Amino acid sequence: MNAFRDAFVYLNDPLNWSRPNGILDLLGDHLRISLLAMAVALLIAVPLAAVLGHRGTGGGFTVGLVNISRAVPTLAILAIFAVTSIGFTIWAPVIALAIFAVPPILANTYVGFRGVDRDVVEAARAMGMSGRQIVFRVELPLATPMMLTGIRTSAVQVVATATLAALLGGGTLGQVIRIGFARQDNGIIIAGALLVAGLAMATELLLSVVGWLVTPGARELPFRRAASVRPVGEDVVTSGSVQVSGLRV
């Protein structure tokens, strides 16, 4: 219990938060690395998954990539990038974490696109929509909840794993844990672990709220959803509660 008491004392010392390279500075670096890694992963995974899901190909590739990613240690990738031409810069952990974040986003986005009712897609095509319009106006909105699940999973993993960047001199909250080990101070180690765990939980909560807000119909009461369905006619097709180019399909 003395270690937890020391951790409480450490976290309640304002100097540990405000000093140069203190907790606030390390938190900012931690978030910057995590956000850059997620941005790179999104730019790679979402367009690729959208193309594969729209065309209905690449299922085996997606499953294989996810399985392979589980066997590759992130620390090994981080070390490889750090000692190569990239060096000990912010881009070593960013690229390593981006590689780590791509598979969950890719897999969930692909599943989301493939899970779109084919009748809805055919109805949109019969209305004269092009392939690009079907992707952005039909498939992407319907795949968004599943895609956000993958983003949430990747984001929490990236925030937690970014701690390892401190082992190679990166400025993340893992630096607090590293200092604790160097001083053989269990209180500081626990304080660093609590900071990382708290940040991961906050990320999970924030993205869960975002997913709830953007999910179609998630905030509507059942009777409101029923009332929002118009009768067949008036140029409306009723087969759910998703609106496509002015039509509710």
Q: Could you read off the pLDDT of 169-178 as tens digits, one per residue?
A: 677 999 999 9
Mean pLDDT of the chain: 81
Residue 221 is predicted with a pLDDT of: 42
* pLDDT range class, residue 10, cuts 50, 70, 90: very high
Residue 237 is predicted with a pLDDT of: 37
Report residue 124 as tokens.
């949109």
The closest alpha carbon to 174, from 164, 187, 182, 188, belongs to 164
Is 70 exceeded by the pLDDT of residue 233? no
Residue 58 is predicted with a pLDDT of: 75
Higher pLDDT, 218 or 97: 97
Domains, in order of start, for the chain: 2-215 (1.10.3720.10), 222-249 (no CATH)
Residue 82 is predicted with a pLDDT of: 67
Residue 87 is predicted with a pLDDT of: 59
Distance CA 172, CA 179 (A): 12
Task: For the chain, give the longest Cα–Cα distance.
Answer: 74
* pLDDT range class, residue 248, cuts 50, 70, 90: very low
Distance CA 24, CA 5 (A): 21
Higher pLDDT, 80 or 42: 42
Mean pLDDT of 2-18: 91
Query: Which runs of E-coded beta strand occur in the chain?
Result: 243-244, 247-248
CB-CB contact of 6 with 187 (8 Å): yes
